[in-house]
Structure 1
Amino acid sequence: MSVNPCWLFRLFLAVLFLLPVSLLPAQELTPRTLTLSEAIMLARKQSVDAASALGQLKSAYWSYRSFRAELLPEVNFSATLPSYRKNYNAYQQSDGSHTYVRNDYMSLNGAISVDQSIWFTGGTLSLTTSLDYMTQFGTGSRNHQFMSVPVALTLNQPLFGVNSVKWDRRIEPLRYAEAQANFLSATERVTMTVIQYYFNLLLARENVSIARQNLQNAEKLCEVAESKRRMGKISENDLLQLRLNVLNARSTLTANESSLKSNMFTLRSFLALGETEELIPVLPDSVPPISLEYHEVLKKALEHNSISYNLRRRQLEADYQVAQAKGNRRQVSLYAQVGFTGSDSDFGRTYTEMKDNQVIQVGVQVPILDWGKRRGQVKVAESNREVVRQQLRKEEADFSQSLFVLTEQFNNQVNQLQIALEADAIARRRYQSNVETFLIGKISTLDLNDAQTSKDEARRKYINELFSYWYYYYQIRSITLWDFAAQTNIDADFEEIVR
């Protein structure tokens, strides 16, 4: 019987496709030693949180640029090219009767203006030049006419109303300064996040290392105990306890290895690193010897933190709402225009035979009876301003209190870290001594297990205390925007960053 080669080839491909993934060779990981400072640098450059903070800064930057542009002269061009009408309109004749007349004409117009906001009055000053052209059809002959305004100076000024431009000049710089401070604080918060992930991985690796060492020790002690049991120097209960210790050590190692992989994936993902890298964190061997004074920390925070800009901005916005409500009680506007104009069927004469062109208009809108509506709006705005003022006082007090607690926690953490370091060294020496004592049969397995537990907990506590130190340190940096180790403020070239 002959076998179709094509069928065999398809069968081979199907079997290869259905092979379990576990049978395929595992992808090898490339070890990469990572220090805390390197992790911080990568997080600030590559993390999604850093990109989000940069996006918010750019949005605030262009909003501020738009505000600044509104204060500068603006050149505008407007035109209708063309407008054609062929319709009938009502027309009143000299005897009072009405009739309909036919319109059949085309018009074109264009104007160029230079507009400038007057920030200290809230008005607008415009310098304009324009040209209009109209040609009429359906009269037996084609008639056309030009009208030019070579130059016209126009002032549009609201009187007694709120000057929004003046208020924006006070509020918008604070808003942008607040956004800059928020960006710097967000960058420090990115550091706090990567510190947490870094020490989680560091602790996970330490747990794996402890579990492996404990498993080796448990297996070694179990072998010694079995020899002693054969010689009758140890009880059956102690031997069984040591065998149980071996099983527990293996279970703990498996769980810790799984936790290590999870924490490594989290840190790699946050730093935007490849999945083929095996990150090996390095335990920081030193910390900056810093002792903080609360009043100095509070002073730096009030100088640089976004809360100082935020409080002032919100107070000004509440004041602006009150001024706006008061300005809405009456509306008076001034419109004035002076210039020259010319009109003729010949284009050249529209610019040679000039006539003056002047317009002055004052508009007034004052409510006679509004049943207290506008007065009520003023009272509501004033009440809201008082509410905002009390909220700001409370937020400032809460900010100072939380900063006091954080400063005390940081100063206390220095002592806690030193105590944890000494306890770790003592627990290691105690465990080693207990192992040697157990081998000569002078202590029980319970005492040995207690020493081992104390050793492991002391090591974990030291790493946790080290994490708390760095976390508190960068938390204070994020609030004060001040580097207390270098005694310099935390700043950035924002023009360069937003490009």
Structure 2
Amino acid sequence: MKIKRSLFLPCFTILLISGSSINVVTAQDTPTFTLRELVQQAKDNSPASLRAKTIKENRYWEFRQFRADYNPQLRFNGTIPSYTRSYSGVTQPDGSIGYREVNQNLVDLGLGLQQVIAPTGGVISVNTSSSRFDNFRNDLNEPRTQFLGTPVNISLQQPIFAYNPFKWNKKISPLLFEESKREYVEEMESVSMQVTSLFFDFLIAQVNVEIATKNLENSEGIYSIEKKRYEKGMTYEDDLLQIELQALQAQQDLAQAKLSLESSLFAVNSYIGLNQNTEIKLFSPTEIPDFHVDVEQAIDLAFQNRSESLGFDRRRLEAEAEVAQARGQRFEATLNASYGTNNTAYSWGDVYQNPNTQALVNLGVSVPILDWGRSKARMAQSMANQRLVDYTVQQDMVNFEEEIFTKVKNFLMIKERLNVTKVADDVAQRRYDIALRRYQTGNVTITNLNIAQNEKDSNKRAFYESLRDYWMAYYELRALTLYDFENGELLYAPELD
């Protein structure tokens, strides 16, 4: 039986250069990428990176809004106009109600400059206002228009013994903003890890197609040799059938490898923002950066740079703020005070002639006399929650340090394993080449040749899997520390806002 040779006509032809570099031969305008270039392409154009940039921008404007709350606010208020024409009941001196026609208009304008007092939680403001009242039902000998004005008024609203949100927000919001900036860098490194995984999915799919193509070619050659031996009576029919089945399996393996290659290409293009049908060319990143990673240094860098380390402090502050809020609700008092001048006249200009003094002071107090332990329970709950947060943060810090320690050790182990798998790949390839030549001369059985082929294939795949693990760990280490160990520089620098 003659096995038809499968024609390998995918969208591009795969070549293995120097036993390590996988290239794809395509048209001249085919985009080509190294791993680092594909990572940068994903950071610039992938939906995941654009989402991270949008979140970062959103957090920036949240912080700008927070800072604006502590700046002076100039406000204009007015009623322009308020016209009324109706009948209204008016109580008479004898207690009866007389209905009178109301036909009047009111215009009220005010301008105020307001400033928050962050340390105390109070609000101070300077205001000026003017209003005009027109009564169109007045007798002709009575003035229809009156003016009321407040040339200047200074007012203070000051809570006493109350929760001060301005004080706590001033501590917490900058930490949240700083966390968001670091989270953005971490998200970009997560994008690097994701595109690295897709990169090697595609690269390994290329390797599998190359392996399957070569295995099919070898299987057909072996079948041809074995068939001639069978015709000469030098081999058994069951051996010939076994080789025929291997050739058929090689055809199936090649078809499956091509399908996986197309699927991997689609996934890469979708993630980095290219058209799904775009053919690309990848270069295998077999040159490994040579740098040293110290475990203690990595842990220190993680605590200095990671958003989680800021989150530890921020979570403690938020728990303290909850205790302060519960404490402030037990006794509420607000001091309202204002001082200024005002006047009324029948012309607008006369309002500002010799205005009278205007003063107001009041202290409002709210103290629960009998709340059935509500305030006590609220206070106890907030303090218990604070203790819980402290214990949780302590455990999270231990886990955080342990994670960095484990990841660094894992990175160092993967780096050593990569060197071993590279040597094993070369050895397995040489062994198979020798076994194939010996089989062709009749000095090795088909069983031993199949063993050599399986070892060759498994060691090549193991090498590329180790290569994937290395680069995944490389970008994971960057994300965990926000530090580029290869170039010796921070990935994150505080922005000047």
Normalising by structure 2, what TM-score?
0.91
- Whole-angstrom distance in 1 between the partners of 2:354 and 2:203: 88
8 Å contact 1:241–1:445 — kept in the other structure? no
Deviation at 1:73, TM superposition (A): 0.5
For 1:207-246, list aligned pairs within 5 A: 207-246=208-247
Query: Which residue of 1 is the match for residue 67 of structure 2?
Result: 68
Query: Which residue of 1 is the match for residue 105 of structure 2?
Result: 106
8 Å contact 1:311–1:392 — kept in the other structure? yes
8 Å contact 2:305–2:492 — kept in the other structure? no
**After superposition, what is the alpha-carbon deviation per residue over 1:335-365, rounded to whole angstroms, capped at 9, x for unaligned?**
1111111211021111122111111111111
Secondary structure in structure 1 of the residue aligned to 2:486: coil
Give the letter aligned to residue 60 of structure 2. Y
- Whole-angstrom distance in 2 between the partners of 1:495 and 1:57: 15
Give the letter aligned to residue 35 of structure 1. T
- Whole-angstrom distance in 2 between the partners of 1:482 and 1:158: 46
Number of aligned residue pairs: give it.
Answer: 469
8 Å contact 1:32–1:279 — kept in the other structure? yes
For 1:267-282, list aligned pairs within 5 A: 267-282=268-283
Query: Which residue of 1 is the match for residue 422 of structure 2?
Result: 421
For 1:283-432, list aligned pairs within 5 A: 283-432=284-433
- Whole-angstrom distance in 2 between the partners of 1:455 and 1:278: 29
Query: Which residue of 2 is the match for residue 77 of structure 1?
Result: 76
**After superposition, what is the alpha-carbon deviation per residue over 1:227-279, rounded to whole angstroms, capped at 9, x for unaligned?**
22233333333322222221111110001000100000000111111234222
Query: Which residue of 2 is the match for residue 119 of structure 1?
Result: 118
Query: Which residue of 1 is the match for residue 139 of structure 2?
Result: 140
**After superposition, what is the alpha-carbon deviation per residue over 1:261-320, rounded to whole angstroms, capped at 9, x for unaligned?**
000000011111123422222111211123322211111111111101111111111110
**After superposition, what is the alpha-carbon deviation per residue over 1:213-235, rounded to whole angstroms, capped at 9, x for unaligned?**
11111111211222222333333
8 Å contact 1:291–1:411 — kept in the other structure? no
Normalising by structure 1, what TM-score?
0.90
- Whole-angstrom distance in 2 between the partners of 1:406 and 1:139: 87
For 1:28-107, list aligned pairs within 5 A: 30=27, 31-85=30-84, 86-91=86-91, 93=93, 97=95, 99-100=97-98, 102=100, 103-107=102-106
- Whole-angstrom distance in 2 between the partners of 1:453 and 1:248: 13
RMSD (Å), alpha carbons = 1.9
Deviates more, 1:238-247 or 1:302-311: 238-247
Deviation at 1:74, TM superposition (A): 0.7
Q: In the superposition, relative to structure 1, how do residues 395 and 492 fare at CA in structure 2: closer, same or farther (>3 Å)?
A: same
8 Å contact 2:306–2:482 — kept in the other structure? yes
- Whole-angstrom distance in 1 between the partners of 2:134 and 2:204: 87
For 1:154-169, list aligned pairs within 5 A: 154-169=155-170
Deviates more, 1:206-215 or 1:81-90: 81-90
Q: In the superposition, relative to structure 1, how do residues 157 and 276 fare at CA in structure 2: closer, same or farther (>3 Å)?
A: same
- Whole-angstrom distance in 1 between the partners of 2:339 and 2:64: 33
Give the letter aligned to residue 196 of structure 1. S
**After superposition, what is the alpha-carbon deviation per residue over 1:436-476, rounded to whole angstroms, capped at 9, x for unaligned?**
11111111111000100000110000000010001011111
8 Å contact 1:438–1:448 — kept in the other structure? yes
8 Å contact 2:266–2:277 — kept in the other structure? no
Deviation at 1:494, TM superposition (A): 6.2
8 Å contact 1:27–1:276 — kept in the other structure? no
Gaps of 5+ in 1: 1-25
Query: Which residue of 2 is the match for residue 14 of structure 1?
Result: none
Query: Which residue of 2 is the match for residue 128 of structure 1?
Result: 127
Give the letter aligned to residue 250 of structure 2. A
8 Å contact 2:432–2:456 — kept in the other structure? yes
- Whole-angstrom distance in 1 between the partners of 2:492 and 2:48: 19
Deviation at 1:367, TM superposition (A): 1.5
Secondary structure in structure 1 of the residue aligned to 2:126: strand
